[in-house]
Amino acid sequence: MTKTIAHELAKKQREISIAEFFERNKHILGFGNPTRALVTAVKEAVDNSLDACEEAKILPDILVEVHTKGEDGECKIIVEDNGPGIIRRQIPLVFGKLLYGSRFHAIRQSRGQQGIGISAVVLYGQLSTGKHTIVISKIDEKRPAHLYELAIDTNKNTPEIVKNEVTKWDKPHGTRIEVTIVGDYKRGRRFLYDYIQSTSIVNPHAQITFVEANGEKHVFERVTDTLPRPTVELKKPHPQGIELGTLIKMAKNTSNRKLSTFLKKEFTSMGERTTDAVCRIANLDKDANPKELTRDEFIRLLKAFKKVKIMAPPTDCLSPIGETLIKRSLKHETQEISPEFIVATTRPPSVYSGHPFQVEAGIVYGGKLDANSPVKILRFANRVPLLYQQGGCVSTSALSDIDWRRYKLEQRGGKGIPNGPAIFFIHVASTSVPFTSESKEAIADVSEIENEIKLALRECARKMQHHLNKKEKRIKTREKFELITKILPEIAKKSASMLEKPVPPLDAVITRIMDVVWIEDIITYEKVERKKVQTTLEGFDEGKNYGYITKSQLLVANYKQKPQKFNLYALIPSDAVVGFIDPKPAKIEEGKYIKWCLPAIEPTGKLEITFELAGLDKGDFDENDLYVEGINPEYVIGADKWEGD
Amino acid sequence: MTKTIAHELAKKQREISIAEFFERNKHILGFGNPTRALVTAVKEAVDNSLDACEEAKILPDILVEVHTKGEDGECKIIVEDNGPGIIRRQIPLVFGKLLYGSRFHAIRQSRGQQGIGISAVVLYGQLSTGKHTIVISKIDEKRPAHLYELAIDTNKNTPEIVKNEVTKWDKPHGTRIEVTIVGDYKRGRRFLYDYIQSTSIVNPHAQITFVEANGEKHVFERVTDTLPRPTVELKKPHPQGIELGTLIKMAKNTSNRKLSTFLKKEFTSMGERTTDAVCRIANLDKDANPKELTRDEFIRLLKAFKKVKIMAPPTDCLSPIGETLIKRSLKHETQEISPEFIVATTRPPSVYSGHPFQVEAGIVYGGKLDANSPVKILRFANRVPLLYQQGGCVSTSALSDIDWRRYKLEQRGGKGIPNGPAIFFIHVASTSVPFTSESKEAIADVSEIENEIKLALRECARKMQHHLNKKEKRIKTREKFELITKILPEIAKKSASMLEKPVPPLDAVITRIMDVVWIEDIITYEKVERKKVQTTLEGFDEGKNYGYITKSQLLVANYKQKPQKFNLYALIPSDAVVGFIDPKPAKIEEGKYIKWCLPAIEPTGKLEITFELAGLDKGDFDENDLYVEGINPEYVIGADKWEGD
């Protein structure tokens, strides 16, 4: 038969190697231009070091060096860690093969998850400078260090070992990578510094030393000796939101012969009762062979997963930063701005497509921040700062979708990034962050994640509004109060002396004019010896940092004409431990709030409340969030209406 | 020896299949949420159909159908074309294997370039619904059609053939794909319609029929029978901007023994003289064996590539849309807005990292467009509309980087997306568009491309400014003119009749007050028979569309007190053919401008110029862009200063 056009076209069809694909599409990996390439290269190496240290429960000590002494436009990057090292035979694969790694199949929160990052750096180095990468790794004090010089055969996506030798290295264990890339150090330096600084903010347990090309050395000290809560690898997926295709694939490959066993053994959160309920609602026989289910039956199963209330996945595969640490970090980063206040929140964990995730947010407000510029957005995913592609990130679209005019920020049409003196912090932690590309710079618009981000931001926004309102109310009332308490007695004194009569009691007059309950909030910090704390505090937890005691003093003054009796609530950070407290509270909800049923306070009467919090650093807690119950909140200055637990 | 932590960690290291990788990271491919998934699936199939038809020089006739009758949330998508078809043995690979394709290694402008798109749709269908994809293809009238039912084995990235049979299909040739995915038709419908409409705008030679889920049928008719200029595959890369790693790889694999032959045979634009110059400047022996060059010598070669002026790559691998067609398309799309004017520009081709590319831009201004909203941005890459990730696209950042306040648009701080009654059109055509991810929704920030986009936008902006200024000036002068030419004669007549004297000549007075040269521009269209045009026009080109003749009538009136003699230039679109013209011009620069050396015009004297353009549709050319030389342009209404060719 004659050849058709299709035959002609068919001649060109070919398989493409993944390395060849990325060699051509280096921008997808974050190497689109020399400025970005510099940051991406360092980021991939540091991510790996942090992950490795965390897995091995080692406090990370990371060295980042950039040298520009070679060819024009070339940067030699060195990243060295004190991690567990990599065993000899895997070094070439880890660094010289794309799509090879340990974290892809593990259901846990980690920085790397694709098996592409570090080998992409090696690939880009080779592509842009023709130079090989040198890796040194040592896994134990008693063993020698190994040095590899590596390249990647892009036609085959396999490592090419140029050199492989035993070498001396004085570190007990760790990994060091030396890679030369085309990078723009002059323009990239600032981004690199920002990246390292931001990384150190969300990894307070890491010590990062950054040696610049001119030899200048910046040490980002660790601020805590406590490792982040170790994330536990989830062995099985959560049924909620799992894809039909994945479910069918799992059932095909299972060795369990019964549907109920399959469900219980291969999914998380599937206990006896839940499994029964799922099977009943799906109208499926518990003893059916999962391999023999039809597509329709799988669909019924999937629907049943959504109908039955299934316990949320265990959250120990996630490691959020936590409200206090976020506030502390933001406070640290914004020292020079001296912001008016900082709020933060950690949402409960949630699930998308079977992957657990958790959102945290924070807002820094006021101070020297420019009120006329767009708000600054700090984005993080699994404790890694996201520096590029802000416009393409779900956190930006979630933020842009909120009407910020309600929270006193300027925003055209109630859409888009608002203007105002604020910095927004957004952190998404997940066992599988849905990045929009392999360069991991932006999170895809998954609706479940978008909703959680909105909820977190709104929570912060409400706190912000609450703060602004309280402040406004307090300022107004304070003026009135000062006027009354200063001028009235003066007048009284003068009139009395003119009339030669004794000064009349003014309390009744003052209360009549003021007509409020005033709550004053004073916070002080006291440095304490570890030992002392141990003995004076109940519920002492060995692992916590008790360097400071945060003392709150609440002064409640009744400037109303009648005695007042009400309940007072003070919110406490989730990671604080309550110590000394007086008067005795009605209830302490650990990590949430303290409740007092106050005795009646007579007109012009005052009451003092003191309580101490441990487990926080100086400045972590700098304002009480107070609520009242059993009194018209309109009359109260310094607290809002208690809306329930 | 004892096992270290590194040994523990090593156990988890594994190779990851590319299909498995994308199964997990479906958002990278554009399937992050059900709305987007719907659009992506259709887009990948239509892209393939358009590419195939273009390669086979067939006018595309594409059918897109969406059915939602099946399971809740499932959409069955059918895309059928009249393309060349795919030969039997390659059908499973094209649709069932990621990273397989014909366009990855070809240096030419095409929609698909990664070998991922359509197999990703099959993968997503299987993942989300568990259903297989059905492909029917026929390559010749005389041969049978083949039907395949396909799945992808994600562990191996290989096609799984579920069914393979000969079938009847009444089409002479073409391909049909049926895939069922989880998609949100309710929310996605509008985006899908937008995508198809935009696609039809930049592919005026394609006929696309869209049958909605409710049976409603939209036919996007082809507006031209002319196929886009066929792109010629560039066999060799251009030396400019090539990566060092690629150069070394090429030299390693070459069969040429001499450096000069290697350069001449394996690169484009490298003639004898250029090759000599490169070798001389690099201080390399022309006869050296390219395989034996050192890294330093390659670097010298690379530097020489930059120093020697090398001819730009041939541009026939690119297929820009063209100024006229952009204007026509924009006019078509904005009919309901009745914009004040539309400008467009096509930049000359340029090169980044060895890849030729070309930028086109356009601005639609005024009419019913909202002056208070951000401008709308329409982005295209290789004639494919980009619907998502606007914030992450280099076209957005290029646009945001221009100070639009200079061009009378509102823009806070001279940065960001401006507000104003405008639509911006940006098209990037390249043999290799640097997308930020496999979903091909945004272009990476490659500085060469960013610069060209800025230049294109600034060109449009200048045209826009030019237009706005001219309009403003004309309005002002016209008021004055109308006042003078209506009121003065009335006064003269009245005074004359009162004094019983004849009406005095007013011309001198009018010219003294007006003191300008006025150029009026009237454009009309005349429908002509193809035959007639053929006989009346010189330089008739068989392939062009001569349905209309665009007639320009320029009236030049001298309202100055002295005779005026100057040169007039009228710009003409690059794709127009000049027909009848009177008076005789001094020069016609085909596709650029017509120049007249006008005779002296006496005060109050008038001159009429007529010329006809063919090759354009009605309305393509609706305003002359006029320039003058040899006269103070300040005095001229309706033309600007000629700044040279």
**B244, A128: Cβ pair inside 8 Å?**
yes
Cα distance between residue A516 and residue A559, in whole Å: 5
- DSSP for residue B238: -
First and final C-alpha spacing in chain A: 80
Concatenated DSSP letters of B262-300 = HHHHHSTT--HHHHHHHHHHHT--TTS-GGG--HHHHHH
Interval A358-371 mean pLDDT: 91
Q: Which residues of A touch B432 (CB under 8 A)?
A: 24
Which comes out higher in pLDDT, residue B181 or B236?
A: B181
Specify the pLDDT at position B400: 94
Of A398-402, B22-26, B395-399, the poorest mean pLDDT is in B22-26
Of A93-107, A431-445, A616-630, B504-518, the poorest mean pLDDT is in B504-518
Place of tokens 């650029």: B592
Among B128, B244, B299, the residue with its CB nearest the CB of A244 is B128
Written out in words, the top-level CATH class of the domain with range B515-641 is mainly beta
Distance from CA of A202 to the nearest CA of B (A): 24
**A27, B130: Cβ pair inside 8 Å?**
no
Stretch 604-643 of chain A: residues touching chain B, C-beta under 8 Å: none
Write out the H or E segment, with its range, that includes residue B576.
none
* Residue B543 reports pLDDT greater than 50: no
Interval A139-160 mean pLDDT: 92
Which comes out higher in pLDDT, residue B378 or A3?
A: B378
Write down the CATH number for the domain with range B316-458. 3.30.230.10
Would you tell me which CATH number, out of the four given (3.40.50.2000, 2.60.40.290, 3.40.30.10, 3.40.50.1970), belongs to the domain A513-641? 2.60.40.290
Q: Which residues of A touch B396 (CB under 8 A)?
A: 391
Which comes out higher in pLDDT, residue B76 or A21?
A: B76
Among A17, A33, A94, the residue with its CB nearest the CB of B13 is A94
Q: Which residues of B touch A139 (CB under 8 A)?
A: 4-7
Of the candidates B388, B386, B317, the one whose C-alpha atom is nearest the C-alpha of residue B110 is B317
Structure tokens of A503?
């000064």
Instruction: Note if the bond before B313 is cis, omega within 30 degrees.
Output: no
Give me the architecture of the A18-220 domain, per CATH.
2-Layer Sandwich (3.30)
Q: Which residues of B touch A13 (CB under 8 A)?
A: 90, 93-94, 100-102
Cα distance between residue B23 and residue B127, in whole Å: 7
First and final C-alpha spacing in chain B: 80
Percent of chain A with pLDDT over 90: 46
- DSSP for residue A229: P
Instruction: Kindly indicate the confidence band of residue A52, based on its pLDDT and cuts at 50, 70 and 90.
Output: very high
Of A514-518, B92-96, B281-285, the poorest mean pLDDT is in A514-518
Percent of chain B with pLDDT over 90: 46
Mean pLDDT score across all residues of chain A:
87
Of the candidates B27, B135, B598, B375, the one whose C-alpha atom is nearest the C-alpha of residue A436 is B27
For strands B376-381 and B422-430, give the pairing.
Answer: parallel
φ/ψ of A402, rounded to 5, equals: -90, 140
* Residue A324 reports pLDDT greater than 70: yes
Concatenated DSSP letters of B460-498 = HHHHHHHHHHHHHHHHHHHHHHHHHHHHHHHHHHHHHHH
Which comes out higher in pLDDT, residue A137 or A479?
A: A137
**A9, B55: Cβ pair inside 8 Å?**
yes
Stretch 205-264 of chain B: residues touching chain A, C-beta under 8 Å: 243-249
* Residue B85 reports pLDDT greater than 90: yes
**B389, A392: Cβ pair inside 8 Å?**
yes
Over residues B569-587, the pLDDT tens digits come to: 998 888 788 889 999 999 9
Interval B432-443 mean pLDDT: 90
Do residues B160 and B134 lie in contact, with contact meaning Cβ atoms separated by under 8 Å?
no
Of the candidates B45, B206, B141, B148, the one whose C-alpha atom is nearest the C-alpha of residue A6 is B141
Write out the H or E segment, with its range, that includes residue A445.
none
Instruction: Kindly indicate the confidence band of residue A544, based on its pLDDT and cuts at 50, 70 and 90.
Output: very low
> Under 8 Å CB-to-CB from B620, ≥6 apart: which residues?
B324, B327, B328, B331, B550, B573
* Residue B427 reports pLDDT greater than 90: yes
Percent of chain A with pLDDT over 70: 97
Of A447-451, B132-136, B497-501, B528-532, the poorest mean pLDDT is in B528-532
Instruction: Note if the bond before B583 is cis, omega within 30 degrees.
Output: yes
C-alpha dihedral (B624, B627, B633, B635), degrees to nearest 10: -40
Over residues A297-306, the pLDDT tens digits come to: 998 999 999 8
Q: B33, B72, B152, B253: best mutation site toward chain A, by most A Cβ within 10 Å?
A: B33
Cα distance between residue B565 and residue B396, in whole Å: 46
B167 in contact with A, Cβ within 8 Å? no
Which comes out higher in pLDDT, residue B538 or A192?
A: A192
**B139, A7: Cβ pair inside 8 Å?**
yes
Residue type, B512: R
Of these ranges, A155-159, A485-489, B462-466, B513-517, the one predicted with the greatest mean pLDDT is A155-159
A90 in contact with B, Cβ within 8 Å? yes
Interval B456-479 mean pLDDT: 84
Among A243, A295, A447, the residue with its CB nearest the CB of B128 is A243
Q: A15, A23, A438: best mutation site toward chain B, by most B Cβ within 10 Å?
A: A15
Specify the pLDDT at position B280: 94
* Residue A528 reports pLDDT greater than 80: no
Cα distance between residue B106 and residue B110, in whole Å: 9
Give me the architecture of the B244-311 domain, per CATH.
Orthogonal Bundle (1.10)
Write out the H or E segment, with its range, that includes residue A541.
none
Specify the pLDDT at position B539: 41
B500 in contact with A, Cβ within 8 Å? no
Instruction: Kindly indicate the confidence band of residue B531, based on its pLDDT and cuts at 50, 70 and 90.
Output: very low
Stretch 389-448 of chain A: residues touching chain B, C-beta under 8 Å: 389-393, 396, 412-413, 416, 419, 432, 434-439, 442, 444-447
Mean pLDDT score across all residues of chain B:
87
Write out the H or E segment, with its range, that includes residue B537.
none
Among B56, B246, B438, the residue with its CB nearest the CB of A28 is B438
Distance from CA of B247 to the nearest CA of A (A): 9
Interval A411-418 mean pLDDT: 86
Q: B16, B20, B160, B171: best mutation site toward chain A, by most A Cβ within 10 Å?
A: B16
Domain segments of chain A: what residues?
Answer: 18-220, 244-311, 316-464, 513-641
Instruction: Kindly indicate the confidence band of residue A531, based on its pLDDT and cuts at 50, 70 and 90.
Output: very low
Structure tokens of A413?
């049409």
Specify the pLDDT at position B34: 92
Residue type, B476: K
Specify the pLDDT at position A546: 53
Structure tokens of B272?
């004898």
**A436, B130: Cβ pair inside 8 Å?**
no
Do residues A181 and A71 lie in contact, with contact meaning Cβ atoms separated by under 8 Å?
no
Would you tell me which CATH number, out of the four given (3.90.1310.10, 1.10.10.10, 3.30.230.10, 3.40.50.2300), belongs to the domain A316-464? 3.30.230.10
Do residues A227 and A543 lie in contact, with contact meaning Cβ atoms separated by under 8 Å?
no
Beta strands in A31-184 (DSSP E): 61-67, 74-80, 100-101, 133-138, 145-153, 158-167, 174-182
Do residues A332 and A222 lie in contact, with contact meaning Cβ atoms separated by under 8 Å?
no
Interval B70-99 mean pLDDT: 91
Q: Above 0.85 for ipTM, yes or no?
A: no
**A436, B298: Cβ pair inside 8 Å?**
no
Q: Counting Cβ atoms within 10 Å, is residue B231 exposed (0-12), middle (13-18) or buried (19+)?
A: buried
* Residue B610 reports pLDDT greater than 50: yes
Do residues B411 and B418 lie in contact, with contact meaning Cβ atoms separated by under 8 Å?
yes
Among B99, B131, B249, the residue with its CB nearest the CB of A18 is B99
A609 strand-pairing partners: A554
A357 strand-pairing partners: A350, A430
> Under 8 Å CB-to-CB from B288, ≥6 apart: which residues?
B258, B259, B297
Over residues B187-236, the pLDDT tens digits come to: 999 999 999 988 988 888 899 999 999 999 999 988 778 888 777 777 78
Instruction: Kindly indicate the confidence band of residue A276, based on its pLDDT and cuts at 50, 70 and 90.
Output: very high
Of A362-376, B7-21, B581-595, the poorest mean pLDDT is in B7-21
**A389, B93: Cβ pair inside 8 Å?**
no
Specify the pLDDT at position A537: 41
Specify the pLDDT at position B536: 41
Distance from CA of B322 to the nearest CA of A (A): 27
**B94, A13: Cβ pair inside 8 Å?**
yes
Over residues B265-317, the pLDDT tens digits come to: 999 889 999 999 999 999 999 999 999 999 889 989 999 998 998 887 777 88
Q: Which residues of A touch B103 (CB under 8 A)?
A: 12
Specify the pLDDT at position B455: 96
B109 in contact with A, Cβ within 8 Å? no
